[in-house]
Structure 1
Amino acid sequence: MRRRLAIQLIASLFLAGSAWAVEVKSAEYLGSFAWRAGHDWFGGFSAIHVSDDGQRAWVLSDRSTLASVRIDRDGDQIVGIRIVGHWPVLSSRGRIMPGSSGDSEGLALAPDGSFYISFEGVHRVARYAVPGAHAQVLPRPKAFDGLDQNGSFEGLAIDTQGRLYTLPEKSRTANGDIPVYRWDGRAWSTPFVLIQRDGFLPVAADFGPDGRFYVLERAVSLTGFRSRLRRWQIAGDTTTAEEILFQTGTGTHDNLEGLSVWRDGQGRLRATMISDDNFLALQRTELVEYLLPD
């Protein structure tokens, strides 16, 4: 069975056995590229941002390394990746951050060219004026204090108004929902929550060029990883039109943790995802791409 049809079938069966008002749409699998490099810092990639032309990207390691790359393509397929440069993600004092303090997970690029990075070891979001700059840590509300030590801000996204959105991987509201925190430049708020479904946990987020909010989710078992991509329309403090774009079986992809949604030269919506190999030989750094329905 072709992989695209298999993914559609899995999603259809998944929906048929549930009582949700959720629409399932079919994303088209384009391909995967196994990326290898001999650098000692290479691996553990938790976030990616792809340029509008699909030829350049920023990737973030969960050990506080930011890298700029060029992506070589042949039609719809990635055929090579070249590292242009890499920089340490520094503390507010300009220091290398060891251990959990340097567990960098989410990445968002602002219109002025600055970067925002979220961390889950010490729960926070920081701004970086340029690669290699000192961190400017955003205020931390009390709501961040009780988050799971190794399960907070894996995803970070920025909307067209420059507002940041982040969500914890594991910590939930009293009703079991996923809280979404928004920074408007002055303060944090929790404008809405997302319903958690079927044990999948959020690991990345992005706003697409269509204005919709995308969340990449992961489920882990002893035999491998499953991945799912959902999206919503956001109007003010309300989410509507939840859609499941794909859900994979165990082992279809590696540990996908980073997400970037963009529009290619043909005007098609694409999702590019990157896997975290956990610096283990049994895993791989993989870039995976899907075409998304408009």
Structure 2
Amino acid sequence: MRKYLGPVLAALLAACATTPEVGWQARHAANELAREAVRFAEQPLPNAWTPVETTTAPVALNAPIYEDGGAALVFAGGVEIRSDFNRFHGLSDIDFAADGRTFWSIVDEGLLVRGRVVLDAQGRLTGVEGIETRPLTDPDGQSLIPKYLADAEGMALTPDGELLVSFEREHRVWRYDPDDGRWLGERVIPDFAFPENDGMEGIAAARLQGAYWATGENGGWWLCRIEACETVMAPPAAAPGEDALRVTSLDANPVADTIFVLERAYHASRNTNTIRISQLHGADQSRANPWERLAEFTAPATVDNFEGIAAVRRPDGGVRLYILSDDNFNPGQRTLLMAFDVR
């Protein structure tokens, strides 16, 4: 896959690299502790799975090309997830168990979420159920409360049954047990000075034993093995433009040696987003262009701050993609889960 990733990603993953300002951790620690005390006004959640009441409402895509079978992806249902629980916001990534129904997600305020998708008789997404949450913890079993410690952005379920979680601000990848949430250790990360709030937005388990892929929000692509990370494409020096697409999530194809990539661009001038879903065929040397764009849509289609993508094997042997939006604790945004079948 390395042979192809470089030239393809050079145009896609434009970014700037700046060293975090001296003393930023100490300042953020004080500021964020005060902010969290005001926001939550409560003790940390118990270090156990806690049920969370949620409701869902159906959401249309409003993009006929992805609904009538005329494109590479076919829309297979969407829902908005709502909850009165004041910390059920900011869901930043998603991944699924092999059963294709059970999922895990992360909240960028330091929580782990799990639940199951609900499908109708035709296999379309109609809701979620069994939602539970628990804190992400540190090596001492303590909840991650300050934002600079808790800003989880990427997640991957590995073939050996661990959850990898990437954090930004204090950049790292930590390992967790998906069943009881225990901290299991850390993983090596790229030898790169990520900007404070632009870290490893996308991670995905690689086919190599113990390896994972990582991408920076503003650029860069790495293959991380147990001992070190290899730079597949270094972030370019030029900063991305305001309307540039940025990688927000990755997931490995469960039935082929490809990677699904989610990108998002926020257009401040019109307060909307563009969403792109692609597939990278890096191991297929017969393809002239290994990069396959599967979908791209913007308003009036349903768009939001989509930051998570997951690929699951369908019962018929095909692939379903789920994309998840982060509502940023903003009443003007929504937590959306949308399903697409790959043709």
Same fold (TM over 0.5): yes
The residue aligned with 1:90 is 137
The residue aligned with 1:139 is 188
Q: How many residues align?
A: 268
Contact persistence 1:90–1:135 (CA under 8 A): no
Matches within 5 A, 1:71-110: 71-74=117-120, 75-97=122-144, 98-110=146-158
Partner-residue secondary structure (3-state), 1:112: coil
Partner-residue secondary structure (3-state), 2:333: coil
Matches within 5 A, 1:115-264: 115-130=163-178, 131-134=180-183, 136-140=185-189, 142-143=191-192, 146-161=193-208, 162-170=210-218, 178-192=219-233, 199-209=244-254, 210-222=256-268, 223-235=271-283, 241-250=290-299, 252-264=302-314
Cα deviation for residue 229 of structure 1 reads 0.8
Tell me the distance in 2 between the aligned counterparts of 1:233 and 1:48.
22
The residue aligned with 2:63 is 3
- TM-score after normalising by structure 1: 0.82
Q: Bigger shift: 34-43 or 82-91?
A: 82-91
Change (3 A) 1:269 1:141: closer
Change (3 A) 1:134 1:2: closer
Given residue 292 of structure 1, which amino acid in structure 2 is its aligned partner?
A: V
Change (3 A) 1:230 1:207: same
The answer to whether 1:63 aligns with 2:109 is yes
Give deviations 1:142-175, integer Å, cap 9, x for gaps.
42xx2121111111100222311111111xxxxx
Tell me the distance in 2 between the aligned counterparts of 1:262 and 1:220.
27
The residue aligned with 2:19 is none
Contact persistence 1:93–1:135 (CA under 8 A): no
Higher alpha-carbon Rg: 2
Tell me the distance in 2 between the aligned counterparts of 1:7 and 1:77.
12
Give deviations 1:103-135, integer Å, cap 9, x for gaps.
001111122221110011211111123443135
Cα deviation for residue 82 of structure 1 reads 1.6
Given residue 52 of structure 1, which amino acid in structure 2 is its aligned partner?
A: A
Give deviations 1:50-98, integer Å, cap 9, x for gaps.
2333321111111111111021111232222123432211122322221
Match 1:277 to one of 327, 331, 334:
327
Contact persistence 1:7–1:248 (CA under 8 A): no
Could you tell me the percent identity over the aligned residues? 27
Contact persistence 1:30–1:289 (CA under 8 A): yes
The residue aligned with 1:265 is 315
* Structure 1 or 2: more strand by fraction: 1
Q: Bigger shift: 51-60 or 127-136?
A: 127-136
Give deviations 1:34-53, integer Å, cap 9, x for gaps.
11122222111111112333
Change (3 A) 1:281 1:264: same
The residue aligned with 1:22 is none
Contact persistence 1:31–1:289 (CA under 8 A): yes
Tell me the distance in 1 between the aligned counterparts of 2:66 and 2:215.
30
Contact persistence 1:226–1:252 (CA under 8 A): no
The residue aligned with 1:26 is 72
